[in-house]
Amino acid sequence: MTTVRRRRTREFVEPPITWESIIERAQANQEPDWLIELRQAAWAQYQAMPMPTLKDESWRRTDYSHINWDSAGIITIDENPDIASIPAANRAPLIGDEQGALLAWVNGTVAGQELNPRLAEQGIIFTDLHTACHEYPDLVRDNLFQKAMTPNEGKFAALNAAGWTHGLFVYIPKNTRVELPLHSIFYQHSGATLGHVLVVVDRGAEVTVLQEYLSPEGEEHTGYIGGTELIVGNGANLRYVSLQAWGHNMYEFSHGRGHVMRDGQLDWVVGSMGSKLTKSFMQIALDGEGAWGRMSGMFFADGNQLLDHDTFQVHNQPNTTSDLLFKSALKDEAHSVWRGMIRVMPGAIKTDGFQANNNMLISSTARADSIPGLEIEADDVRCTHAATIGKMEEEYIFYLMTRGVPRIEAERLFTNGYFWDVLERIPFEDVQNRLLADVDRKILGHHNQ
Amino acid sequence: MGATLEIRNLHVSINDTPILKGVNLTINQGETHALMGPNGSGKSTLAYALMGHPAYTVDSGEVIFDGVDMLELEADERSRLGLFLAFQYPVAVPGVTVANFLRSAINARRKSENPEDPGITIPDFRRLLKNKMDLLGIDHKFAGRYLNEGFSGGEKKRNEVLQLATLEPKIGILDETDSGLDIDALRIVADGVNKLKGPQLGILVITHYKRMLEYLQPSFVHMIMDGQIVESGGPELADEIEEYGYKPFFAKHGVEATED
């Protein structure tokens, strides 16, 4: 018997976002001319690019044609944001009882802002991007869509550059070691927003930033089109933790890029638990000799979620080191995709690149695609990768159960252990526990859809 | 009165191949039994089947523990009733520390007795685990290591004995706990088990060789061949096997010789 596979014609349409609405908001915000020009140039690039489809290599496994842009594409900005809509656990201080810095947005509008006087005295800037464009125009202009992420990276990168609705701006002055963590939350209850994160760590400075993405569960599709730029100066050190716990009705399309200069270090950890669909491009560009970059990720998809990450470790200079560890667990009909590329540019000798991707299938209907890649154009380099896709093995669960632990608890213990090597890279115990609680909820099957 | 593990006419198969063909054995709490037999005779199958491994199908027979029909129960329920299996090849579980795991196991016991139980406090648990590690001469650092990850053969077996000591079962099955150990490691592990021996613990030592038994001094020795217990006696049976091997017994019981 032969089966005939019918291919449905899929439509990948643009969201109903117009230049008129962008310029209207920009004028209402009294944005400076240089910023409006930046938006306009990006809009032109956006218009010149087609919507990605399953025919594009990096979108082959990312069918988003079922998105309802009539809700997920309607930019929705809160006039009177309520900080209380963000769960209190997410707003609590990260270490002990002392708040370092907290900035929280609700649908594109700042809803709460705290900055510990100890940090303010150090001269750090921790503010929203609109304010920064007015108060620190040179700093922003030198960095925004200049050194890390650029609009030409893709359709959604261009859309983010043209239409970003809100953003975080962090600047850490030279040789400043920030003792307390900086914490930012993008909360979104409906519609679409376009958030942007710009972190600039000047030479010899050191900081830890936690960026959270949250939305409640709901029926109507919501959309987030994001951008992240992490600029790490000579000898600077940035630990950046980005956690996504969107409701299962969210569609996220985002681009992020780290630009690491000579002897700089970027330790980037991402955790994704929520959304209906996440398509995220992440790149670390090692742009100075001796630069070091690490990307770690933990993903737990259940229900019919698709968590899809494209990572790039780009060695542009000699003696650079990159490391990647992405781990996923998949339950129900969930699907994860990881495509990872280590690229060593000509002349980037004595580089060391590593990538590992592990996927654990908790149910037989879940699916993981793992596509490692190496492109090496320099001599004398060491690049390796490892990818695994496996089931949650009964031998392990049985062993744990023989000590009296019920099956569900054994699965929970095993999965917590599986994620631990990524989790321990998040320097906040409360945040680790929050993520473990998310894992537990998914194992126990208490998610809403 | 102590608990009794009664195995009656137990038939077990793996993938439709019969392995156990009618095993009868009774072990009382406080007794030490040895089960010896050549490779492929069904020793480990008995251990796994008693513990409830899903790959082992019980075709007929009964296993009654402390008056309860064990065959209806999952592995965790059997454990909580007081049965313990020290694995021949314990698996490594990255990211789960020995301490975290044992605390979960203790709390699972307490919760099954009383769903409202908040679990053992961390200080109480630390004290308990420290006492057990001291009893067995185990370095306290052990508690913070990931379960069997990167453990040597000897460390894995000591970890099994530590779990035995901490969970305090009524009957403990040691499945070839001597395998893969050199004589020094064997002595350390056997010393540990000896410290746990007493009226509260019944032990079934499954082994191919006599050397483990020299330390543990079982009062009862059984020999399994082709899925049945064919001889039962005292320590002299182990001596006989040591001296002549399994060969004479194959002929005596009309069993086709496997390697011995």
Q: Is B106 helix (H, G, I), strand (E, B) or coil?
A: helix
Q: How far is A196 from chain B (nearest CA, A)?
A: 34
Which residues on B lie below 8 Å from A406 (Cβ)? 74, 76, 108
Does residue A414 sit within a domain?
A: no
Query: Radius of gyration over alpha carbons of chain B, in Å?
Result: 18
What mean pLDDT do residues A437-444 have? 91
Q: Cα–Cα distances in Å, from B2 out to A393, B125, B199, B200?
A: 36, 27, 8, 8
Contact A398 B53 (CB under 8 A): yes
**Domain assignment present for A162:** yes
Q: What CA–CA distance (Å, rounded) separates B234 from B232?
A: 7
What residues of B are in contact with residue A400 (Cβ under 8 Å)?
93, 101
Tell whether A413 is covered by a domain. no
Cβ pair A402:B80 closer than 8 A: no
Do the Cβ atoms of B109 and A410 come within 8 Å?
no
Per-residue pLDDT tens over the stretch A203-227: 999 999 999 999 999 999 999 999 9
The whole-model pTM stands at 0.91
A438 located within any domain = no
Q: Cα(A421)–Cα(B144) distance, rounded to whole angstroms?
A: 14
Q: Dig out the tokens for A292 from the structure.
A: 């070091």
Predicted confidence band at A131 (pLDDT cuts at 50, 70, 90)? very high
- Residues of the domain holding A231: 23-392
CA distances from A443 to A109, A251, A302, B108 (A): 35, 23, 9, 17
Q: Which of A250, A256, A258 minimizes the C-alpha distance to A278? A: A250
Residue in A with minimal Cα distance to B163? A403
DSSP string, B48-87: HHHHT-TTSEEEEEEEEETTEEGGGS-HHHHHHHTEEEE-
* Domains identified in chain B and CATH numbers: 4-252 (3.40.50.300)
Is A433 among the domain residues?
Answer: no
B53 touches chain A (CB under 8 A): yes
In this predicted structure, the answer to whether residue A91 has a pLDDT above a threshold of 50 is yes
The whole-number pLDDT of residue A160 equals: 98
The residues, any chain, with a CB within 8 Å of residue B1's CB and separated by 6 or more, are none
Burial class (CB in 10 A: 0-12, 13-18, 19+), A226: buried
3-state secondary structure (DSSP) of residue B176: coil
Q: Is the pLDDT of residue A447 over 50?
A: no
Is the CB of B105 inside 8 Å of chain A's CB atoms? yes
Average pLDDT over residues A61-70: 94
Domain count, chain A: 1
Please name the amino acid found at residue A237.
N
Which DSSP string do the residues of A162-201 spell out, in sequence order? HH--EEEEEEE-TT-B--SPEEEEEE--SSEE-EEEEEEE
Interface of B with A in 135-154 (CB under 8 A): 146-147
pLDDT higher than 80, residue A2: no
- Residue-level pLDDT at A29: 94
Contact B76 A410 (CB under 8 A): yes
Q: Which residue of B has its CA nearest to A392?
A: B93
Three-state DSSP class for residue A261? coil
Nearest CA to CA, how far is B53 from chain A (Å)?
Answer: 7
Q: Token match 């960095």: residue? A: A143
Q: Which amino acid is at A58?
A: S
Give the model's confidence band at A448: pLDDT under 50 very low, under 70 low, under 90 confident, else very high. very low
Could you give the residue ranges of the DSSP H alpha helices within B122-246? 122-136, 153-167, 183-196, 211-216, 235-244
As a whole number of Å, the CA-based R_g of chain A is: 21
Q: Which of B75, B94, B95 sits opposite A401 (nearest CB)?
A: B75
Question: For residue A387, is it within any domain?
Answer: yes
| C-alpha dihedral, B53 to B55 to B61 to B65, nearest 10° | 0
Q: Is A153 helix (H, G, I), strand (E, B) or coil?
A: helix
Q: Are B2 and B28 in contact (CB under 8 A)?
A: yes
Across the interface, do B93 and A407 touch by the CB < 8 Å criterion?
A: no
pLDDT on residue B259: 58
What pLDDT sits at residue B20?
97
Nearest to A184 by CA among A240, A132, A130: A240
pLDDT tens digits, residue range A352-408? 999 999 999 999 999 999 999 999 999 999 999 999 999 988 999 999 999 999 999
Whether A401 and B109 lie within 8 Å, measured CB to CB: no
What is the average pLDDT across A89-104? 89
Do A400 and B163 count as a contact with CB atoms less than 8 A apart?
A: no
Q: What is the mean pLDDT of residues A173-191?
A: 96
Asked whether A225 and A192 are in contact (CB, 8 A), the reply is: yes
Over its length of 260 residues, how does chain B's per-residue pLDDT go in tens digits?
A: 689 999 999 999 999 999 999 999 999 999 999 999 998 899 999 999 999 999 999 999 999 999 999 999 999 999 999 999 999 999 999 999 999 999 999 999 999 999 999 999 999 999 999 999 999 989 999 999 999 999 999 999 999 999 999 999 999 999 999 888 888 889 988 999 999 999 999 999 999 888 889 999 999 999 999 999 999 999 999 999 989 989 899 888 888 876 55
Contact list in B for residue A414 (CB cut-off 8 A) is: 93, 96
Which pair of tokens denotes residue A7?
Answer: 């291919």
Whether B76 contacts chain A with CB within 8 A:
yes
Residues of chain A contacting residue B90, judged by C-beta atoms under 8 Å apart: 399
List the single residue in A401, A418, A419 with the smallest CB-CB distance to B74: A401
CB atoms inside a 10 Å sphere around CB A68? 13
Decide if B85 and A402 are in contact by the 8 Å CB cutoff: yes
Q: Which residue of B lies nearest to A396 if distances are taken between CA atoms?
A: B91
- B84 contacts in chain A (CB < 8 Å): 402
- Give the containing element (helix H, strand E) for A283: strand A277-286
For residue A407, which residues of chain B lie inside 8 Å, CB to CB?
A: 74, 76
CA distance A387 to A112: 42
Q: What is the mean pLDDT of residues A97-117?
A: 93
Query: Is residue A282 included in any domain, yes or no?
Result: yes
A446 domain residue, yes or no? no
pLDDT attached to residue A5 = 56
Would you state the pLDDT for residue A11? 80
CB contact under 8 A, B76 and A413: no
